[in-house]
Structure 1
């Protein structure tokens, strides 16, 4: 992490500890994790966290977009490496749901739980745009029902993200999501 001009060495060390702790805690618990947990893991007071970071959204934007961006870039590359419009859209959906399941912070980002974390939202918007392009491409190829729109894709991903966060979600939620996608294919 580059040194922030004007910060004392100990203050810079606290910022670095807060960034590392935030990444670890957000990865385990999601973006709604208590800030006290982050401060405790960093070995600083909650006052230091607020003094150095300002807000939850500022902390999120300081640490999560780069990691989310790397994961979403890998998802994009994997998706675009497929040879057909159907395979690209299927890969995008499957990989996005797997990311939502495995990364609570990225799931929270995709669910737009912290809309004021603008850097993170911008990273997620690029994936949303890719999803729309893939739906349009599948429509143009004649393999996806015109009734299935980009909004439907985002609704399916939202349902998957919401269900994956909720321990009380019915066990069959993934099967329902998979069936809704399967029913949209024409060929």
Structure 2
């Protein structure tokens, strides 16, 4: 368990370097990047990392929620600015694919690879709720097939997350997701 007493100056500096290194490495390589690499980049031992943060999830929660929250909030604002529910839902799917494709850390967060990173999980739940709200709204307006469920939307997002990071994913996976969404409209 990490210490909770006030830190000495050198310990505060170590923690700050660990947070900076973790942010850089997680954003580049994903949340599963080796913690030894984070410690090395910060110029401290792996023991110092665990002493300060206790677990990978605690380190993730110390550095990723602000970045993930800002990116997902921007996506949400863009989505909600669209005039029709169809445009909003399509913008949501396209935006999630774009975020997952270019940001390994956010992709890991969206896929909930580290469910014990509670702060990060909460941020991702807001995006899930937005997507689910859009599906329900499209159903109410009668523009989305009743057969297309919230689970289907989450499956498309999950598939995009897996395929975007997999070097051997079938070519055209994005078009497959597009076709699945297009087929769901009434």
TM-score normalized by structure 2?
A: 0.96
Distance apart, 1:5 and its partner CA: 6.5
2:150 matched to which residue of 1? 150
Aligned to 1:22: 22
Q: Structure 2 CA distance, aligned partners of 1:21 and 1:141?
A: 47
Partner residue in 2 for 1:38: 38
What is the rounded CA distance, in whole Å, between the counterparts of 1:92 and 1:61 in structure 2? 24
CA distance in 2, matches of 1:168, 1:94: 21
User: Any gaps of 5 or more consecutive residues in structure 2?
Assistant: none
Once the two structures are superposed, what CA deviation does each residue of 1:120-169 show, in whole Å capped at 9, x if it has no partner?
00000010000000001111111111111110000000001011111111
- Tell me, in whole angstroms, the C-alpha distance in 2 between the residues paired with 1:173 and 1:35: 32
Separation in 2 of the partners of 1:5 and 1:12?
11
Q: Aligned pair count?
A: 183
Counterpart CA distance in 2 for 1:94 and 1:35 is 32
Structure 2 counterpart of 1:92: 92
- SS of 2:33's equivalent in the other structure is coil
DSSP 3-state at the match of 1:115: coil
> Structure 1 regions of 5+ residues with no counterpart?
none
Over the residues paired in the alignment, what is the CA RMSD in angstroms? Answer: 1.0
- Which residue of structure 2 aligns with residue 165 of structure 1? 165
Q: In structure 1, what is the equivalent of residue 111 of structure 2? A: 111
Matched with 1:132 is 132
Is 1:120 the equivalent of 2:120? yes
Structure 1 consecutive aligned stretches of length 4 or more whose deviation exceeds 3 Å: none
Query: Matches of residues 8-87 of structure 1 in structure 2 within 5 Å?
Result: 8-87=8-87
The DSSP-based 3-state class of the residue aligned with 1:170 is coil
- TM-score between the two structures when normalised by the length of structure 1: 0.95
Q: Find the residue that maps to 1:183 and give its secondary structure.
A: helix
